[in-house]
Structures are given as C-alpha cells and as structure tokens.
C-alpha cells in the first residue's frame, strides 16, 4: 500500500509500470497525469524567507542584546596632580593625619607658588601645598623627579623650623608659669590616683600588692 505524498503517486506508479510489476495502468493514471493533486495540507513546503531581511533582523537582535548587556560607565576623569598626590602620601602617610582647612576664601586661594612657604605661616603648609608647588615647578620645565625632590626638601626645612619654634614656645610658656597639658596616658593615671584616694582604707589596702 502506497503511503507517500499524493504528488509523487504518479511517478511511483510509472516506475512500477516500467518495472513490469503493473501490467496495465490504473484507470485514474491518465487523469492524474493531466490534473496532478495539489500539495498536502499536512506537508506544506517551506516558505521563502528573504536572507537580507533575516540578516537585518539578526543584526538588530545582536545590537539590542549588546545594548542590554553593556552597562554605561562614565569616562574616567584624571588630573595631573593625582599621580603626584599618590606618590607624596605614599612616602608621607602621617601627613594624612594633619587637619585640613576646607573653607575657601580670598585668603586661602593661593596663586603665587614661586616658593613653598611664600607669605604663609609654616602651619599652613600641608601636603596639598607640596603637590601644588611641585606642579608649578613642572610647568616651569623641571622634570617630575627633580620637582619632587626640591619640593620635599623645602617641606622638610619648613617642618623642622616649625617643630623648633613650637618647642621653644612651649619652654618659654613653662618658664613663665604655664602648665603643660597632660597626655591621655598621664591623664588616665591621674584620674586613677584621685579615685583611689576617695576609696575607703580597707579597699585601698586590699588593692595593694602583698609584699
């Protein structure tokens, strides 16, 4: 029993007639040759797809996919003093512990950087001052290494003069009768002694180590 496609039935019977299996053609054979059956509803041929449209759709899908997965990132902002700041604070980490003045006015916005100290007090010279002074030296044609060495040398001299001046001022104040502020450890020991004096004699004797 033939179970193929109706469109191929005529060719199948023709091969059987040529092979001698069928002696006489069936009654419907010449009619089917003139009026072949249409395509089967269950086995319809593939539809024609324009490859250009397929490529465009694929390109659109790829583009939309990339847009969805790509996270927009702001451009990296770099300043020339960032590299100088990173090197200075790496070599002088304790400068980060010093207080900084964030208030800006006509007195704090310094424009003349011919020298590191300028007309400022030594206490106003910070790590940021060294960085701006080094940037000024580089703009004058000095290499980054030479500018860093020169700025650091002047910075060390200013810090040394500042420490000497503070030590002399402290000695003068003590000579005139001023009292030096206690450190945190000294203050804690003093408070402990004061509290021990207020305790009853029995507790004081019990707290003493045995001889």
Mean pLDDT in residue range 7-32: 83
pLDDT score of 207: 55
For the stretch 149-171, pLDDT in tens is 999 999 999 999 999 998 998 88
Distance of CA 4 to the CA centre of its chain: 67
Instruction: Annotate 31-66 with b (16+ C-beta within 10 A) or e (fewer).
Output: ebeeeeeeeeeeeeeeeeeeeeeeeeeeeeeeeeee
Q: How many CB atoms lie within 10 A of CB 128?
A: 14
Q: For the segment 80-139, what is each residue's pLDDT rounded down to a tens digit?
A: 889 999 999 999 999 888 877 777 666 566 777 888 888 888 888 888 889 999 999 999
Q: Report the alpha-carbon distance of residue 5 to residue 12 in Å, rounded.
A: 10
pTM of the model: 0.51
Q: What is the pLDDT of residues 38-97, one digit of tens each?
A: 766 565 555 655 565 555 555 555 555 555 667 788 888 888 889 999 999 999 999 888
What does the domain layout of the chain look like in residue ranges?
1-43, 80-102+109-175, 181-211
């Amino acid at each position: 029993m033939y179970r193929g496609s109706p469109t191929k039935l005529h060719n199948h019977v023709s091969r059987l007639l040529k092979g001698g299996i069928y002696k006489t053609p069936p009654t419907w054979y010449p009619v089917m040759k003139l009026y072949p059956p249409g395509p089967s509803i269950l086995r319809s041929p593939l539809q024609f797809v324009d490859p250009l449209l397929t490529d465009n759709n694929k390109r659109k899908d790829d583009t939309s996919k990339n847009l969805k997965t790509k996270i927009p990132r702001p451009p990296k902002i770099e300043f020339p003093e960032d590299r100088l700041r990173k090197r200075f604070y790496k070599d002088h980490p304790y400068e980060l512990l010093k207080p900084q003045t964030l208030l800006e006015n006509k007195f704090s916005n310094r424009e003349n950087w011919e020298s590191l100290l300028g007309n400022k007090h030594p206490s106003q010279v910070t790590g940021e001052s060294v960085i701006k002074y080094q940037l000024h030296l580089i703009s004058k044609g000095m290499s980054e290494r030479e500018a860093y060495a020169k700025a650091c040398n002047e910075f060390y001299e200013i810090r040394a003069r500042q420490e000497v001046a503070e030590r002399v001022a402290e000695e003068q104040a003590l000579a005139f009768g001023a009292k030096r502020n206690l450190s945190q450890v000294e203050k804690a020991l003093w408070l402990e002694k004061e509290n021990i004096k207020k305790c009853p004699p029995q507790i004081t004797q019990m707290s003493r180590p045995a001889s």
